[in-house]
Amino acid sequence: MLSKLYAAGVALAVVAASAAPAAIASNGADSWSAIEQAANGQTVYFHAWGGEPRINAYIAWAAETVKDRYGVTVEHVKVSETAGVVTQIVAEKTAGRTSGGTVDLVWINGENFNTLKTQGLLAEKGWAETLPNWQYVDVEGKPTVVSDFTVPTDGQESPWGMAQLVFMHDSARLPEPPKSLSALAEYANANPGRITYPQPPNFHGSTFLKQALITLIDDPQKLQSPVVDTRLDQDLAPLFAYLDDLHPHLWRSAEAFPQNAAQMRQLLADGEIDIAFTFNPGDASSAIANGELPPTVRSFVLEGGTIGNTHFVAIPFNSSAQEGAKVLANFLLSAEAQARKQDPAIWGDPTVLKVTSLQEADQKRFEMLELGVATLSPTELGQTLPEPHPSWVKAVENAWAARYGGS
């Protein structure tokens, strides 16, 4: 049911995006050359999550490469929550700052993209589809590259990587992990303090709540449409019944929560908890390669599938370096950058490209990658569940805070 719903929800966006290479052709190489010339000498303030050293190192490499090749300086503005960047852009619009904005490119998806799009705070429609490397994006095979939490991207954000909720366990301590929400609750009850999740509105914490909601709500199709306020309490009741039973058995009895996925992963590494999770299928292998997790850690997913989506970069309406931002976004879509990003020793983030459409030399970049002992194959990853409509994120987070905020 969910997979059919997902396919129907993105079909129109896929059809619209399939004509993207024509947009590149009509724009012509001369137009892109002019963009590169205008970008030379610009400084791009790239606002991106700064909570993961491996990702920070990757962005630093991309910045250095773009500087050397195109004369574009990239400043990574490390943020803890993208919602703060959205607030900053909204404040600039309110103050009448329609040019010379302080944010040139932002790592974004989901609720934050929807907020910026609906308030007219993004650069013009279609810019992402004019990037030269857009022609290699796997629109048909990975439809979430053009549909962000059910909202069509309309070319106002450029896909950067793929994501799916994946759980991790140390097989030396826990050979057979629980693979359903009910089994997870049973395990927590039998092993108090060995399970936890990050505190919402942290992205990973909210994702855990959404995963539970998809499983527990009476009709998952409701989640593909905006929240109906008059029935919200009823729709969320199964989720909070589950959490009410789970919380007394969590790490620190749910009186404290990890602040983010990195802290949760450290708790797993330190042996304080038995299960962690991530939104990057290659994260466990990457952490093993970097000495952050023991080599006995393995990945698993829940029966019935887990949430998946695409993450993007977007240009605000008042960016002071739009050409430079486009050059950086195009480089991030290159086979060189995408293959490096997918390398578990670097980041381990899956590509948005259709690898078979690349030149032979670029295909070999991906073929040579060793994805690692803890990375699940596409078959093992199973079904990817669609993200709920963005309105559900804030509704769930607010309800969680009202119920457990004093914890």
Q: What is the pLDDT of residue 378?
A: 73
What is the number of helices (H) and of strands (E) in the chain? 15, 11
Q: Is residue 258 part of a domain?
A: yes
Burial 25-44 (b: 16+ CB within 10 A, else e): eebeeeebeebbeebeebeb
Question: Is the confidence at residue 66, as pLDDT, over 50?
Answer: yes
Tell me if 335 sits within 8 A of 350, measured CB to CB: no
Q: How far apart are CA 114 and CA 152, in angstroms?
A: 9
Range of the domain at 219: 166-307+385-404
Do residue 30 and residue 79 come from a single domain? Answer: yes
Do residue 282 and residue 351 come from a single domain? Answer: no
Condensed to tens digits (0 to 9), the pLDDT of residues 118-148 reads 999 999 999 999 999 999 999 988 888 999 9
Q: Is residue 181 part of a domain?
A: yes
User: Can you say whether residue 309 is alpha, beta or left, with left for phi > 0 and alpha for psi between -120 and 50 degrees?
Assistant: beta
Do residue 68 and residue 172 come from a single domain? Answer: no
Q: How far apart are CA 313 and CA 47, in angstroms?
A: 9
pLDDT average, residue stretch 244-249: 98
Helix axes 232-246, 390-404, angle to 10 degrees: 50
Tell me if 226 sits within 8 A of 150, measured CB to CB: no
Q: How far apart are CA 186 and CA 178, in angstroms?
A: 8
Residue 16 confidence class, pLDDT cut points 50, 70, 90: very low
Do residue 218 and residue 136 come from a single domain? Answer: no
Rounded to the nearest integer, the mean pLDDT of the chain is 91
Give strand ranges (E) for 184-257.
none
Tell me if 210 sits within 8 A of 220, measured CB to CB: no
Q: Is residue 31 part of a domain?
A: yes
Do residue 9 and residue 155 come from a single domain? Answer: yes
Q: Is residue 346 part of a domain?
A: yes
Q: How far apart are CA 19 and CA 134, in angstroms?
A: 11
Condensed to tens digits (0 to 9), the pLDDT of residues 198-224 reads 999 998 999 999 999 999 999 999 999
Question: Is the confidence at residue 392, as pLDDT, over 80?
Answer: yes
Provide the edge-to-edge strand list for the sheet that holds 297-300. Answer: 275-278, 166-170, 297-300
Residue 377 confidence class, pLDDT cut points 50, 70, 90: confident
Whether residue 192 is preceded by a cis peptide bond, meaning omega within 30 degrees of 0, is no
Do residue 180 and residue 288 come from a single domain? Answer: yes
Do residue 90 and residue 180 come from a single domain? Answer: no
Do residue 223 and residue 138 come from a single domain? Answer: no
Question: Is the confidence at residue 3, as pLDDT, over 70?
Answer: no
Q: What is the pLDDT of residue 190?
A: 98
Q: What is the pLDDT of residue 379?
A: 75
- Between 281 and 13, the more confident residue is 281
Tell me if 88 sits within 8 A of 102, measured CB to CB: yes
Instruction: Assign residue 121 the CATH number of its domain.
Output: 3.40.190.10
Query: How is residue 75 written in tokens?
Result: 């400043």
Instruction: Provide the domain count of the chain.
Output: 2
Do residue 251 and residue 286 come from a single domain? Answer: yes
Do residue 246 and residue 390 come from a single domain? Answer: yes
Q: Is residue 375 part of a domain?
A: no
- Which residue, chain included where needed, has tokens 């989506």? 309
Q: Is residue 380 part of a domain?
A: no
Q: Is residue 139 part of a domain?
A: yes
pLDDT average, residue stretch 284-311: 94
Do residue 315 and residue 232 come from a single domain? Answer: no
Do residue 143 and residue 238 come from a single domain? Answer: no
| pLDDT over 90 percentage in the chain | 82
Q: What is the pLDDT of residue 25?
A: 41
Q: Is residue 284 part of a domain?
A: yes
Q: Which are the contacts of 78, defined by CB distance < 8 A and separation ≥ 6? A: 48, 49, 50, 51, 56
